[in-house]
A and B are shown apart, each in its own frame.
Chain A
Amino acid sequence: EPEVTQTPSHQVTQMGQEVILRCVPISNHLYFYWYRQILGQKVEFLVSFYNNEISEKSEIFDDQFSVERPDGSNFTLKIRSTKLEDSAMYFCASSRVMNTEAFFGQGTRLTVV
């Protein structure tokens, strides 16, 4: 069964460093998303991406964040200068078209020290 895959599963980084989280969405899906879940808190929307551009973003998704689809399969989230409060589980998701079922990956646990 097709699934969204994310790498790495866990990343530890020093505060101020750049990190790139990687995702491979389901192959025939057109919409891609990033969400995050700080420990003990709700899952929060970060950004949606369609046709090689951002379609929606939340207040959390500030200038420190960027997304890219560098090739036909990968979808990445870059955090330019990590802060302690960026520590969270980051989930990638994809959907075939807008307003249909979203499928999530297993997540990348980011720890900023």
Chain B
Amino acid sequence: KQEVTQIPAALSVPEGENLVLNCSFTDSAIYNLQWFRQDPGKGLTSLLLIQSSQREQTSGRLNASLDKSSGRSTLYIAASQPGDSATYLCAFNNAGNMLTFGGGTRLMVKP
């Protein structure tokens, strides 16, 4: 059974800082992984999808990487802004789009 862990659970940084969020998983037999953003009390916004055959994906200031051999994915946020404050979730698809989610990293970017 896939287990997904995200560290740190919470992170507070000053505006402008580059930061890395970590996600680890136990079962490397994945189809893809997604990074989501969740604002308090809101839905999940898809940020990036990395297929199993890819090593990274970029969208604007976001870059996500995947290393199946080490069971890790990272989300890099460049030049963080207060509007980036949210909870970031990683989720792995092992089969049939049954996503297994991590517990999330709650990010606060201070002006």
How many A residues are at the interface, by size bracket?
20 to 34
How many B residues are at the interface, by size bracket?
20 to 34
Q: Which of B17-25, B63-71, B77-85, B89-97 participates in binding chain A? A: B89-97
Residue of B nearest to A95 (CB): B97
SS of B interface (majority): strand
Answer yes or no: A91 CB below 8 A from chain B CBs.
Answer: yes
* B46 interface neighbour in A42, A55, A103, Cβ under 8 Å: A103
Tell me if B43 and A106 are in contact (CB < 8 A).
Answer: yes
Residue of B nearest to A10 (CB): B41
Answer yes or no: A28 CB below 8 A from chain B CBs.
Answer: no
The docked-state distance in angstroms from the alpha carbon of A99 to that of B45 is 17
The docked-state distance in angstroms from the alpha carbon of A105 to that of B104 is 18
Shortest distance from the beta carbon of B19 to any chain A beta carbon, whole Å: 22
